[in-house]
A and B are shown apart, each in its own frame.
Chain A
Amino acid sequence: MDFPTIISLTESELDLGALLAQITIPTTGAAAIFTGMVRGKTSSNHPRETNFLDYEAYQPMAEKKMHQVAEEIREKWPTIEGIAIVQRIGRLYPGTPTTMIACTSAHRNNGVFEAARYGIDRLKEIVPVWKKEIGPDGEEWIVGHYHPRPGE
Chain B
Amino acid sequence: MSASKTTYTEADYLAVDEYEPKTSGGRIANYMDKRVAGTGMVREFGRKVFPDHWTFMFGEVALYSFIIVVLSGAFLTFWFDPSMATTRYDGSYAPLQGLEMSMAYATSLELSFDVRGGLFMRQLHHWGALLFVMAMAVHMLRVFFTGAFRKPRELNWVVGASLLLLGMGAGFTGYSLPDEVLSGNGLRIIDGMLKGLPVVGTYISFFLFGGEFPGSEIIPRLYSLHIFIIPALILVLIAVHLFLVVVHKHTQYPGPGRTERNVVGFPVGPVYAAKAGGFFFIVFGIMALISGTFQINALWNYGPYDPSPVQAGAQPDWYIGVFEGVLRLVPGTIGDLSLDWVIPTPWGGNTVAFPILLGILPVAVLFIGMFLWPWIEAWITGDRKERHLLDRPRNAPTRTAVGTAAVTFYMIMWGMGANDIIATHFSLSLNDITYWSRVLIFVGPVVAYILTKRICLALQRKDRETALHGHEAGVIEVSPDGGFHERHQRLSDHELWTLTSFEAPRPSGPRPNAKGKVTAVEKLRAGLNRMWFEERVAPVTREEYQQALEHDHHDEDGGLEAAGSSQGRITRGGD
Q: Do A and B come from one complex?
A: no
Which positions in B face A, CB cutoff 8 Å? none
